[in-house]
Chain A
Amino acid sequence: KAGVTQTPRYLIKTRGQQVTLSCSPISGHRSVSWYQQTPGQGLQFLFEYFSETQRNKGNFPGRFSGRQFSNSRSEMNVSTLELGDSALYLCASSHMADVETQYFGPGTRLLVL
């Protein structure tokens, strides 16, 4: 079974631009969570989607948004990028039968200049 995939793997943007990141979960997984990881910080939870509905949301500004499609693929969007948005963005999926275990993708490394 293929793992979680994320595209693109690397991205360079400038301040003020917007970016869209994509995540394809493991087949059969309907829950997708997004995290931001910066050096020295734990993973910061952005949001979780289940069956196309946002189920939970972390404490990030409204510039961060997401959505999930009927095939469980998910996208997150960051508008009006700031230098502090430079981070590794991780997507994780989980199965209904084992909601506690998260399977992570390799992440998208975003650099904002």
Chain B
Amino acid sequence: SQKIEQNSEALNIQEGKTATLTCNYTNYSPAYLQWYRQDPGRGPVFLLLIRENEKEKRKERLKVTFDTTLKQSLFHITASQPADSATYLCALGTMDSNYQLIWGAGTKLIIKP
């Protein structure tokens, strides 16, 4: 079966440390993968997109890696801050679904001061 999975348990990280979130998928042929941030009571906000032929993408304190062999993307926030606390969603763009995004359920990140 096809699915995309994120760690359902909240991730607690000490301020200043690097937070790493995982997104795994099965049985999809991805074209790209996106990461979004969602705060309570708000819609998701786009953060980064990485294509299937890219290994790594960076934006300020954010870094995304994409390993199509492992079928996994890692999302890193360096020098984490309490303001980074939110739920982070990954979404896969694939021809298998006519490029309609397939979404993970999200991982809640809590940065403790």
A48 to B103, CA, bound (A): 15
A87 to B49, CA, bound (A): 27
* Choice from A42, A45, A56, A101 contacting B105 with Cβ under 8 Å: A42
A48 to B98, CA, bound (A): 12
Interface residues on A, range: 20 to 34
Q: Point out the residues of chain B lying under 8 angstroms from A41, CB to CB.
A: 105
Instruction: Give the contact stretch, choosing among A13-21, A63-71, A73-81, A102-110.
Output: A102-110
User: Among B34, B43, B44, which residue has the most Cβ atoms of chain A within 10 A?
Assistant: B43
User: Among B32, B93, B105, which residue has the most Cβ atoms of chain A within 10 A?
Assistant: B105
Q: Point out the residues of chain A lying under 8 angstroms from B103, CB to CB.
A: 35, 42-44
Q: A41-B105, A107-B43 are in contact. List 11 more A-B contacts (CB 8 A).
A: A42-B106, A43-B91, A44-B103, A45-B100, A56-B98, A100-B93, A101-B34, A101-B46, A102-B101, A106-B41, A106-B42
